[in-house]
Amino acid sequence: MKIGSVREIKAQEFRVGLTPAAAAEAVAHGHEVIIEAGAGMGAGFADSDYEAAGAKIVADAATVFAEADMIVKVKEPQASERKMLRKGQILFTYLHLAADEAQAKDLMESGATCIAYETVTAKDGTLPLLAPMSEVAGRLAPQMGAWTLQKANGGRGVLMGGVPGVAPAKVVVIGGGVVGTNAARVAAGMGADVTVLDKSLPRLRYLDDTFRGLFHTAFSSKAETEALVASADMVIGAVLIPGAAAPKLITREMLKTMKPGAAIVDVAIDQGGCAETSRATTHDDPVFEVDGVMHYCVANMPGAVARTSTKALSNATQPFLIALADKGWERACAEDPHLAAGLNVHAGMITHPAVAEALDLPLNETQTLLHAAE
Ligand SMILES: NC(=O)C1=CN([C@@H]2O[C@H](COP(=O)(O)OP(=O)(O)OC[C@H]3O[C@@H](n4cnc5c(N)ncnc54)[C@H](O)[C@@H]3O)[C@@H](O)[C@H]2O)C=CC1
Ligand SMILES: CC(=O)C(=O)O
Ligand SMILES: [Mg+2]
């Protein structure tokens, strides 16, 4: 198979879908790899690194889209990239379609087979291709929130760790999964007084057992959320219902109860965000204010630390990428239901139930497709 990767064109996105190490692995499996010139530069990989791995450098993205059987990216294809996708081509990347109807319709129109990193599953029910970027975004969230809390950035002027004689910042993390756990660890490490809300009692038990008082846990009821959000200097939004739009747990009304200059870091923004007032921002202009509350809503936070993120993402995607290349998408998905869970769009139809429901579009179940392909 011919595998291609391009330079990411989303604002301030410096990650790349294929590392030279992943390219070398694909070449070792007998595949051809083509890379747009300069695609790895933002993550510290030179064209010569790819050439040394056995890949071919091509001049532009149009050549990659025209020639490759499978496109491997990081972020969802932007409108100009969507126009270059074609029927039968595999797209392997983050998509986050539940909050992006325009993209979903373009992908359906392209006829391509689109596998979303964020809905590929693991045996234990976790999301192995989302997890590495959730680890990064979770660890970045308190750092970005601390910056947002500074006066010059519109914040309340509160220091995360406080100082002797002055209390630390109160941080509330909504969702205690991968983002939430990493955010809580770092915020607590900065000295903040942290509480993690989750609706899963087993998850709260795990956090309590594992972190032994490093942060508090609370059950995510409406009343508990309202009380904690009102008392917070920083709220980190980290909920997820896989494939679906994020539940709006912070309402517009609740902002009125928040402290002026408090910060909401809505990491869940790529699924639409868990605050009613959130809208996606970019690294160029990351923060906006509503009712005195500062919102940081960057949908590609890991792009800020592109080298760490690219390596972490590639470590996770590589086995799936090789399976897709070696077997083709039908056999790879038929043999691995966890990879099949990543299939979001195929031949003009939505194939993921949560995405179809979120966008109110008809569903063509992956299992039906795979049986048809047998
Ligand atoms: N903005 C960015 O750059 C990035 C965003 N993300 C996003 O962050 C979000 C979280 O991802 P992960 O932590 O990996 O997911 P996860 O599945 O590990 O954790 C989600 C947690 O939310 C909890 N949850 C669900 N509904 C809840 C509710 N009503 N109240 C409280 N908790 C609730 C679940 O029980 C689970 O523990 C996702 O939307 C993901 O796409 C991830 C990486 C980067
Ligand atoms: C998960 C995701 O959307 C990102 O890493 O940008
Ligand atoms: Mg994102």
DSSP 25-43: HHHHTT-EEEEETTTTGGG
Q: Two tokens at 282?
A: 């970019």
Residue 282 forms beta bridges with which residues?
Answer: 285
Amino acid found at 312: A
Please give the mean pLDDT across all residues of the chain: 97
Residue 365 confidence (pLDDT): 87
- Residues 81, 82, 87: CA angle, nearest 5 degrees: 120
132 CA to centre of ligand 3 in angstroms: 12
Edge to edge, what strands does the sheet with 32-36 contain? Answer: 56-58, 32-36, 2-5, 70-72, 90-93, 113-116, 343-346, 349-350
Ligand 2 within 6 A of CB of 233:
no
Which residues have C-beta within 8 Å of that of residue 9, sequence separation ≥ 6? 61, 78, 80, 81
95 CA to centre of ligand 2 in angstroms: 9
301 CA to centre of ligand 3 in angstroms: 7
Q: Which long-range contacts (CB under 8 A, 24 or more apart) does 119-122 make?
A: 119/242, 119/243, 119/341, 119/342, 119/344, 119/352, 119/354, 119/355, 120/320, 120/338, 120/339, 120/341, 120/342, 121/242, 121/337, 121/338, 121/341, 121/342, 122/338
Going by C-alpha positions, the residue among 245, 130, 226 that lies closest to residue 179 is 130
Nearest CA to ligand 2 atom 4: 300
pTM, whole model, 2 decimals?
Answer: 0.94
Residue 368 confidence (pLDDT): 81
Task: ipTM value, please give it.
Answer: 0.97
Cα radius of gyration (the chain): 21
pLDDT at 369 over 90: no
Please measure the distance between the N-terminal and C-terminal CA atoms of the chain and give it in whole angstroms.
21
Dump pLDDT digits (tens) for 171-228.
Answer: 999 999 999 999 999 999 999 999 999 999 999 999 999 999 999 999 999 999 999 9
E-assigned strand segments in 104-204: 113-116, 170-174, 193-198
Domains and CATH numbers, the chain: 2-119+306-373 (3.40.50.720), 131-299 (3.40.50.720)
124, 126, 239, best to mutate for ligand 1 pocket (most atoms within 8 Å of CB): 239
Dump pLDDT digits (tens) for 13-65.
Answer: 999 999 999 999 999 999 999 999 999 999 999 999 999 999 999 999 999 99
Dump pLDDT digits (tens) for 317-328.
Answer: 999 999 999 999
Q: Two tokens at 116?
A: 């979303």
Residue 138 · residue 112 · CB < 8 Å = no
